[in-house]
Amino acid sequence: MSETDLSAVPVLRDPSAPYRLCDMPVRLRPREAVERLGVENVPDQVLLALLLRSGTRGMNVVDLAERLLRTYGSLTALSRASVDELTNNQNLRGLGRVKAQMLKAALELARRTAEERRDERGSVVRSPEDAAAMLRETAKPLDHERFWTLPLDSKNRLKWGAEEVSRGILDTSLVHPREVFKRAIQWGCAAVVLVHNHPSGDPTPSAEDVRITKQLVQAGQVIGIKVLDHIVLGRPSAERVRDFVSLRESGVVEFAE
């Protein structure tokens, strides 16, 4: 078996094993697993166990990490939980405020890192995937819709960070051309890419999404700022590999070249 074979650590412990971490096979303990496989090659529960460092009464740190993931279902869902929710959750009795704060801090750092990458000036938007990547991590934990623009120069380089235009259900009262193009005009942008998220996880554009996009493309033509695409962010699923839809690629709206 390869040293980086993830099948080596499909489950961190035998459910019938004693609670003590020292009773777990050495190769499956969190620190040893990371040392052997590398931090990028271990499951989420191993990384959580490293952050938590110790367990609670009657539950070792690996059990606690696995219970966190079972309770919330994913790291994205876990990132939405507040410190108070984590410490008061009956499934996580004994987690403690300090451990909850450590988890929230780590997940917040991950979010801020993604934002820094997104906001780097000079990033080139060559494809719908490039645009989706700039806001994917920001959109993942959101439970409401947000709408952003990516302001670009004549070579499709990001002139500034993504500009948030609205929060809430997408409609013409929230996404008005005046607000969409305000910053783009100030910054002398040549083009913009529109991006918004669907909290349901299904990125299929709605009829309202298509209607608003057509309106904004027309407004852009009037003021001389190209609308190159509209990306709808969701989440991947068994039926859908990509977590976004490009309205340009789908052909439902005719965009500027």
Q: How far apart are CA 36 and CA 28, in angstroms?
A: 10
As for how many domains the chain has, the answer is: 2
Beta-carbon contacts of 35 under 8 Å, excluding residues fewer than 6 positions away, are: none
Residue 182 lies in a domain: yes
Q: How far apart are CA 172 and CA 239, in angstroms?
A: 31
Q: How far is CA 29 from CA 9, 39, 42, 229, in A?
A: 10, 13, 11, 47
* Domain final residue, candidates 114, 145, 167: 114
Residue 82 and residue 99 in one domain: yes
Residue 1 lies in a domain: no
- For residue 16, pLDDT over 50 is answered with no
242 CB-side CA count, 13 A: 14
Beta-carbon contacts of 117 under 8 Å, excluding residues fewer than 6 positions away, are: 134
Residue 98 and residue 159 in one domain: no
Residue 62 and residue 108 in one domain: yes
Tens digit of pLDDT for each residue in 23-54? 554 555 778 888 888 887 888 888 888 888 88
Residue 255 lies in a domain: no
* Domain final residue, candidates 114, 140, 162: 114
81 in Cβ contact with 103 (< 8 Å): no
Q: How far apart are CA 29 and CA 208, in angstroms?
A: 51
Residue 40 and residue 158 in one domain: no
- For residue 15, pLDDT over 60 is answered with no
With a threshold of 0.85, does the pTM exceed it? no
Q: What does the pLDDT read at residue 1?
A: 42
> What is the average per-residue pLDDT within 205-211?
94
Residue 257 lies in a domain: no
- For residue 148, pLDDT over 80 is answered with yes
The CATH number covering residue 242 comes to: 3.40.140.10
Chain-centre distance of CA 235, in angstroms? 9
In what order do the strands lie in the sheet containing 191-197?
163-167, 146-152, 191-197, 226-233, 244-246
Beta-carbon contacts of 132 under 8 Å, excluding residues fewer than 6 positions away, are: 195, 231, 233, 243, 244
Q: What angle do CA 234, 239, 243 make, to 5 degrees?
A: 20
- For residue 205, pLDDT over 80 is answered with yes
Tens digit of pLDDT for each residue in 217-255? 999 999 999 999 999 999 888 888 899 999 999 999 999
Q: What is the DSSP string of 192-205?
A: EEEEEE-TTS--PP
Task: Give me the domain span that covers residue 223.
Answer: 120-250
33 in Cβ contact with 42 (< 8 Å): yes
Cβ atoms within 10 A of the Cβ of 208, count?
13
- For residue 7, pLDDT over 80 is answered with no
Tens digit of pLDDT for each residue in 51-102? 888 877 777 888 888 888 888 888 888 888 889 998 888 888 778 899 889 9
Cβ atoms within 10 A of the Cβ of 191, count?
22
